[in-house]
Structure 1
Amino acid sequence: MAATQPQRPTRTLASADFPIDPSSPLFVAQAVVLSALGGAGAGGTLGWARKQNPFQLGVNMGINCGIVSLFFFGTREYLVSPILLGVCATPAHARRAEELETGITEPQSISDVRMNRILDSAIAGAAAGGGLSTFIRGPRTLIPAAFTAGLLATVGQGLVNQSRVWRLELLAKRAREGLPEPAPAFEPAVEVMESFETPAKPDGERRGDAPITSRMMGVLSHILPVKKLSDEDYLAGLEKKRNDVDRRIAEIDAEQLAMWTNAQK
């Protein structure tokens, strides 16, 4: 019988430890600042187009966007995601919880990148949007606002994930284009093969060092920038080219690893 794979123990709300991503504080702060700046820019542009006070409208929209962003990202990073990670709601959450616990990041497939944090954003959007609307407009707007905000958050997260997929595909395409061309098949002449198999003549002289060959190389060296290479020099040149190709392949592997690592953040 085939050996059964060990199953991850089922976690409940009572047994979960609710891990929080260490980068959440900086991420939330950056998201709030960028949202406020984007809202201010959009408000100023809208005020200028409507011939209203662009400064006042920009400040109002900037503050509103910052508050909405704070509620949304704060709810997602400090409430929704820790709960989903703690109970391992999906295989993706189980993997992320293990990564936070071990500190080892695993590569993600394209489908994983497309679905990254979709559920987190949907729940956080519904909770933040419904809560804010209830606080401002009353409890009657809870369900419509939660549905609308959750839908917008889901679509927005999907667009962000798709942009990451496009970026990964572009980087992978550039990496493939940057690979060195394979060396063409080289079939040396019989004389060259013989020089490697029997590099020395019976009297100790190297093959190709006949007087007429030496005189021809001497004349050409004064006319053209040519140089007679020994077998050792030729092999050294091939070794240098191979080292350059190996170094480039190692750089491409490092770039791909960094690309997959940054895709899940």
Structure 2
Amino acid sequence: MDPHAGRNVGHAVLISTILGATYGAGYGLLHRSSAAVFAFTTGTSAFLGTSIFFGIREWAVSPLLVATVPRGQYAHRRAQYHEPGHVDGPDPEEGWAGMRAYKVPDSALAGAVTGGTLNTLRRGRAGIIPGAVTIAVTAAALQYASNEAFIARIKLVARELKSSQTHPAQPAPPARGFSQLVLDTLGYVMPVRRIEDDEFVAVTRRRQEEIEARLGNIHRELLDLEAADERDKGALR
């Protein structure tokens, strides 16, 4: 089981509940009804639905797939769970195709179980298949969109990294405060020596070193992505 499963469920349920309550409040305001009632209703529905969905996915479906599927992302995730400092999310080593498919089957299966169960409670046995299919497709599409957003972020960082390597950024000068303006004015009428802010220079250098270290980590991830992409192209040939 993913060591971050509990945290993932908690974060997802919290965000979904807030979004649901916000939507309900906005709906109530637009229709000149009680915003609090709509916010409570939609927030509660979002809390219950996402609790069931993410609980099934993180504590039942994903552990089962990781334990039984011997290849692909599940074999890779099984190995990752035993690594110290494991970070949940699409792994650049799997290439673009693997990153796009991250947890998509898990979400589809969990969505089918959730949709079939909830729709059965509302419409009886006739609601099993429609509910399962609808929620499965929706959950898989949302997970795929989330993976695409993650990939887009990596590509954006890659472009910024290449741009910074081509045109290194210069440290910004310190802000001109009121005292600095007074010294500049006095410098025109009497010899006043400007004192450099050593603390600002030290902070700027330290931040620059931190940024360079982060860029180095991103550069290594990009190399892993390019290598995985080449492996995918070689396999297709």
**Structure 1 position 82 matched with structure 2 position 63:** yes
Deviation at 1:252, TM superposition (A): 1.8
Q: 2:13 aligns with which of 20, 27, 32?
A: 32
Q: Distance in 1 between matches of 2:213 and 2:155?
A: 19
Q: CA deviation at 1:54?
A: 1.0
Overall identity of the aligned pairs, in %: 27
Report matched runs for 1:1-265 at 5 Å: 20-88=1-69, 90-103=71-84, 107-108=92-93, 109-180=95-166, 251-256=214-219
CA RMSD of aligned residues (A): 2.7
Note the alpha carbon deviations across 1:39-74, whole angstroms, 9 max, x for none. 000011011111211110111000001111101100
Greater helix fraction, Structure 1 or Structure 2:
2
Larger Rg: 1
Provide the TM-score with structure 1 as the length reference.
0.62
Unpaired stretches in structure 1, ≥5 consecutive residues: 1-19, 183-244
Q: Distance in 1 between matches of 2:96 and 2:212?
A: 23
Task: Look up the SS of the partner of 2:81 in the other structure.
Answer: helix
Structure 2 length normalisation: TM-score? 0.69
Match of 1:101, SS state, is coil
Alignment correspondent of 1:186 = none
Provide the C-alpha distance between the structure 2 equivalents of 1:259 and 1:45, rounded to a whole number of angstroms: 42
Q: How far off its partner does 1:258 sit?
A: 7.2
Paired with 1:28 and 1:246, the residues of 2 have a C-alpha distance of: 36
What stretches of structure 1 move > 3 A for 4+ residues in a row?
A: 102-107, 245-251, 255-261
SS in 2 for 1:138: helix
CA distance in 1 between partners of 2:55 and 2:223 (Å): 25
Q: Is the 8 A contact 1:72 1:125 kept in 2?
A: yes
AA partner of residue 178 (structure 1): S
- 29-38 or 104-113, larger mean C-alpha shift: 104-113
Q: What is the number of residues matched between the two proteins?
A: 180
